Amino acid sequence: AVGVLLKIDQATHNGNFGHFAQVLVDINLKNPLLDSIQVESEDECRFVHLCYERLPNFCSTCSSIGHVPSNCYHNKPKEDKEKITKKSEGSAPK
């Protein structure tokens, strides 16, 4: 399963969507994103390619939304972490 279905447009619901269907799905970004799913109808079974829109930046290292692993604090070398910590301590209000 891709995720929890939240909304489906009327054309898709009626089966009148032609080559494209659009649905709003709540997905868990901790799981890998699928590139296709198998869809069964009354008379056939086929694979459907998936496209994702408006995905936020997600860090698989710390499971946070808002940055990617290459920018994650947890992936920085120890020396860089110490500099960041000292810099933030020096700018704290007194």
Q: How many domains does the chain have?
A: 1
Query: Where does 1-94 show beta strands of DSSP type E?
Result: 4-8, 23-26, 36-40, 45-49, 58-59, 64-65
- Can you give the pLDDT at residue 56? 92
Q: Residue 56 domain-assigned?
A: yes
> Can you give the pLDDT of all 94 residues of the chain as single tens digits?
788 889 988 887 887 777 777 888 999 988 888 999 888 877 888 888 899 988 999 998 899 999 999 889 888 776 665 665 656 665 555 5
**Nearest residue to 32 via CA among 15, 11, 52, 10:** 52
Q: Residue 88 domain-assigned?
A: no
Q: Residue 89 domain-assigned?
A: no
Evaluate if pTM is beyond 0.85: no
Q: Residue 94 domain-assigned?
A: no
Q: What is the rounded CA–CA span in Å between residue 15 and residue 11?
A: 6
Q: Residue 18 domain-assigned?
A: yes
- Can you give the pLDDT at residue 94? 53
Q: Residue 84 domain-assigned?
A: no
Q: Residue 38 domain-assigned?
A: yes
Q: Residue 54 domain-assigned?
A: yes
Query: Exposed, middle or buried by CB within 10 Å (0-12, 13-18, 19+), for 7?
Result: exposed
The residue range of the domain holding 38 is: 4-75
